[in-house]
Amino acid sequence: MVLSFGSVPVLELLNITKEFYGNRVLKGVSLSVMPGEVLGIVGENGAGKSTLMNIVFGMPVIASTGGYSGEIRFEGRTVRISSPREAASLGIGMVHQEFMLLPGFSVAENIKLNREPTRPNFLSRLLGERLETLDLKRMGEDSRKALDELGMDLDEWLPVAGLPVGYMQFVEIAREIDKTNVKLLVFDEPTAVLSETEAERLLEAIRVISSKGVAVLFITHRLHETLAVSDRVVVLRDGEKVAELRASEASVGQLAEMMVGRKLERSLRRGRGPGSAGEPFLVVRDLHVDMPGERVRGLSFQVRRGEIFGIGGLAGQGKIGIANGLMGLYPARGEVYKGGKRLELGKPELAIRSGMAFVSEDRRRVGLMLDESIEFNIAATAVQVKGKFLKDLFGGLLKMVDWSAIREHALRCIKDLDIRCTGPDQTVRKLSGGNQQKVCIARALTLEPDLLLVSEPTRGIDVGAKKLVLETLVRLNEEMGMTILMTSSELAELRLVCDRIGVVCEGKMTAILPPDADDRLFGLAMAGEKIQAA
């Protein structure tokens, strides 16, 4: 693309560093974007993309957590953007992942929202500007113009409520380009909710926008889209800029490899799992799970007896939905066989009875009763579903909870799993994240499962405790022969402990790879490129 709109970058970030509570999420990132240029930014979850955008937008979360260091230059002038309002007045626009539209308003009203052209009337002369009449005709004309620029053949007076999702995205974009002063437009995963043809149209729209001299930052995990529309691509990994390439010289495979990177040491496994010889223990066919934000859309895989099977992928792609669907916590359909028996979906009680136990990713809500004691948390589910820790009263008329048996069991768990606490009667809220996670694992093990589902076992846990939790899982597998289905956003930790790793993208499994497979393959699979299992 010809850069004929001037030689001063619209936006220049110099050495941006950001810490959250001592955790450095951005480590000296620098980048710049020229007028009329499309700059692609790619990276895994947690690579720092969103934090970077929050800084550019002056989101309050940045200031409230101690601000950032480094310099931002807008059109050559150093600026300190302290609120989204300020960002907007500079000419920075953003197309959000979630739509910020009023459903009951028409397309035109949404596009001109809060910036409506108005005409004075006699009331407004009396009582001030805010009472001026809306100039509906001009609102319609302006909206028509913005929609035409995007190539959208859509009636500007239709209400937003009934529009297909793809159209809503375009209304958002139309609103941004209608702003007369917009100089930089940020697209944050705009194609995530679009169909393929809609995504094509969106890319076309981005080209149109940039050809008018607007600079575009395009954030996505779909690598081929980045390459199709960007002039340059920046790759972020672990808060660092690892590469900046001309899109014409880069390939999808190259980007994938840079995005994932080699960041692990040796596997924690001493022996390997059963390998291809193990019989299929859990068979999942065409699983659909309706979990908001983590939809599973027709996914199949098999877990062999005695292996640790990992599920990886980016956030929001559906990997979390799998275990939640299998456990019956969200509406699910599909065929699931465990040990040859068909499992009825949608009923947690049946799932637990069939020998599955779940360590939830939502530790504080689903995994634990925070204000209750360790022993109560560990025993509660086993009491209810397995009828453990009960003694009869009045000849079995009432089944009483046997607290002394629970105490005994809890003490054993505390010792076996090395839970650091003042005793089994301590409330779980007072424990550290790592120890809370161990309580969750103890609770699951108390159900005596033969299949353990573990989701995000190390989320929100400090580094030392992470290793302990992972080692515990490996020990369970190797010493007790427990089959484990582990879901994690951190590919590195999956590669540390798993025998095989399935990668989920857009609710489907794109690949099942050995943990020592090439980074490039993992990167491609996470970006949704279909590849043949190695």
Partner 1 sequence: MLGLWNKLLNKYGYPKVSISLMLVVMLSLAVWLGLDPVELVRSSLVRSAMNSVLVLAMVPAVACGVGLNFALSIGIVGGLMAGLISMELGLRGVLGFAFSVVLSVPISSLLGYLYGLLLNRVKGDEMTVGTYMGFSFVSLMCIGWLLLPFRRPEMIWAIGGKGLRTTITLSGYYDKVLDRLIPLGGLPVGTILFFGLLALLLKLFMESKWGMALKIAGLSPSFAAASGVDVDRQRILGTMISMVLGGIGILVYAQSYGFFQLYVAPLMMPFAAASAILIGGASARHASISHVISGVLLFQSLLTVSLPVINKMMPEGNLSEVIRIIVSNGVILYALSRSSGGDVR
Stretch of 65-73, 255-263, 294-302, 375-383 contacting partner 1, by CB under 8 A: 375-383
8 Å CB contact between 159 and 106: yes
How many CB atoms are located within 10 Å of the residue 200 CB?
Answer: 14
Task: Please pick, from the candidates 228, 264, 390, 468, the single residue that binds partner 1 as defined by CB under 8 A.
Answer: 390
Measured on CA atoms in the order 277, 283, 286, 289, is the torsion positive or negative?
A: negative
Considering the complex, state which of residue 335 and residue 349 has its C-beta at the smaller distance from partner 1.
Answer: 349
Task: Please pick, from the candidates 3, 100, 102, 401, the single residue that binds partner 1 as defined by CB under 8 A.
Answer: 401
Task: Please pick, from the candidates 335, 349, 416, 462, the single residue that binds partner 1 as defined by CB under 8 A.
Answer: 349
Element holding 526 (H helix, E strand): helix 519-526
Considering the complex, state which of residue 252 and residue 390 has its C-beta at the smaller distance from partner 1.
Answer: 390
Q: Is 369 in the site for partner 1 (CB under 8 A)?
A: yes
Measured on CA atoms in the order 334, 338, 341, 346, is the torsion positive or negative?
A: negative
For the chain, the farthest-separated pair of C-alpha atoms sits apart, in whole angstroms, at: 90
CB of 171 to partner 1, least distance (A): 30
The mark string for 325-344 relative to partner 1 (x by CB under 8 A, - otherwise) is --x-x---------------
Rounded Cα gap, residues 431 and 429, in angstroms: 6
Q: Is 380 in the site for partner 1 (CB under 8 A)?
A: yes
Q: Is 381 in the site for partner 1 (CB under 8 A)?
A: yes
| Coil vs helix vs strand at 333 | strand
Residues 6 or more apart whose CB falls under 8 angstroms from that of 126 comprise none
Q: Is 384 in the site for partner 1 (CB under 8 A)?
A: yes
Task: Please pick, from the candidates 279, 371, 448, 462, the single residue that binds partner 1 as defined by CB under 8 A.
Answer: 371
Tell me which amino acid residue 403 is: W
Q: How far is CA 112 from CA 23, 86, 92, 103, 191, in A?
A: 40, 19, 17, 14, 23
Nearest in space to 261 (alpha carbons), one of 103, 473, 84, 42: 42
Strand partners, 245: 233
Query: Cα dihedral angle (264, 269, 271, 273), rounded to 10 degrees?
Result: -90
CB of 270 to partner 1, least distance (A): 32
CB of 410 to partner 1, least distance (A): 15
Q: Is 383 in the site for partner 1 (CB under 8 A)?
A: yes
Stretch of 142-150, 284-292, 360-368, 411-419 contacting partner 1, by CB under 8 A: 360-368
Tell me which amino acid residue 282 is: L
In terms of phi and psi (left: phi > 0; alpha: psi -120 to 50; beta: otherwise), the region of 12 is beta
Nearest in space to 52 (alpha carbons), one of 294, 261, 244, 234: 234
Stretch of 143-151, 198-206, 392-400, 414-422 contacting partner 1, by CB under 8 A: 392-400
Stretch of 199-207, 213-221, 377-385, 453-461 contacting partner 1, by CB under 8 A: 377-385
Stretch of 113-121, 367-375, 414-422, 494-502 contacting partner 1, by CB under 8 A: 367-375
Considering the complex, state which of residue 254 and residue 436 has its C-beta at the smaller distance from partner 1.
Answer: 436
Task: Please pick, from the candidates 58, 367, 424, 457, the single residue that binds partner 1 as defined by CB under 8 A.
Answer: 367
8 Å CB contact between 435 and 421: yes
Tell me which amino acid residue 195 is: S
8 Å CB contact between 277 and 487: no
Considering the complex, state which of residue 262 and residue 353 has its C-beta at the smaller distance from partner 1.
Answer: 353
The mark string for 10-49 relative to partner 1 (x by CB under 8 A, - otherwise) is ----------------------------------------
Considering the complex, state which of residue 239 and residue 424 has its C-beta at the smaller distance from partner 1.
Answer: 424
- Give the footprint of partner 1 on this chain (CB under 8 A): 327, 329, 347-349, 352-353, 358, 360, 362, 365-372, 380-381, 383-385, 387, 390, 393, 398-401
